[in-house]
Amino acid sequence: MKQESTIIYEDESLLAVDKPSGLLTHATARGESDTLVSWLLRQRPEIATIGEDPTRPGIVHRLDKETSGLLVVAKTQGAYEELKRLFHDRKIQKHYYALVWGVPRLNQGTIEKEIAAHNGKRRTVEVWSQVESAKTRPATTAWKLVEPFGDSMALLDVAPKTGRTHQIRVHMASMGHPLVCDPLYAGKRECPAELGRLFLHAYSLRIPRQGQLLEVDIPMAPDLEAFLASLRRNPDGLPS
């Protein structure tokens, strides 16, 4: 059954949405009609004029199509400008659950590697680099081990400090632990049929606002939680 987007939090200036896996945040050059933006415009048509791009009203950050979880959306132009500034200044904290192949040697760490566009695009396999060039941008990702599953997989809590395209996916692959069911960066590792989609879920946002901290959290997506339950029954990494 296809999951629907859900408004998790809302006030006069912004809202936080739980985006399901399989839904684009906004249309690409191909002009898709089924997107989070199209859903938002049906729910809150007043955001149509918010922002700088009419194809992305209210959108200040995005999630990959196969990534599920939290997105914050501006409802006013003032909130849009403020959220942009907070993201630029790295004041907004984001946390994700990521299931990776293998188990990291350490329990936590920070990856600092520049991410490069390959042939001017970011959605390619060959995108990480520590060589400075006009096509690379600094990127920092902190991660912490949550739960290992034998030697085959591990659940991580991942906090990107910057917001580069595919950042978590690229950084985890660069340290030898690509995300499970990642079609771009997991090489020839076969996606478990019981999962069937990228295991990456944005579960937490922390947004400073007028001297206070807005805290928004959601549970693990049901399909991901079901897959983890299967792994716990068989920690060798082959769901039962």
- Do 69 and 19 contact (CB within 8 A), yes or no? yes
With beta carbons less than 8 A apart as the criterion, state whether 139 and 167 touch. Answer: yes
* Catalytic hit among 11, 18, 34, 64: 64
Tokens of 70: 């939290």
d(CA 50, CA 95): 26
Residue 106 to residue 144: CA distance in whole angstroms: 9
**Is residue 131 classed exposed, middle or buried when 0-12, 13-18 and 19+ CB atoms within 10 A define those classes?**
exposed
What sections of the chain are H helices per DSSP? 36-43, 77-88, 167-174, 222-233
- How is residue 98 written in tokens? 């990521």
157 is annotated as an active-site residue:
no
What backbone torsions phi and psi does residue 9 show, to the nearest 5 degrees?
A: -145, 145
Residue the block writes with tokens 């912004």: 14
Helix (H) or strand (E) holding 140: strand 140-149
Rounded CA-CA distance 158/2 in Å is: 26
Q: How far is CA 102 from the centre of its chain?
A: 20
Give catalytic residues, as residue numbers: 64
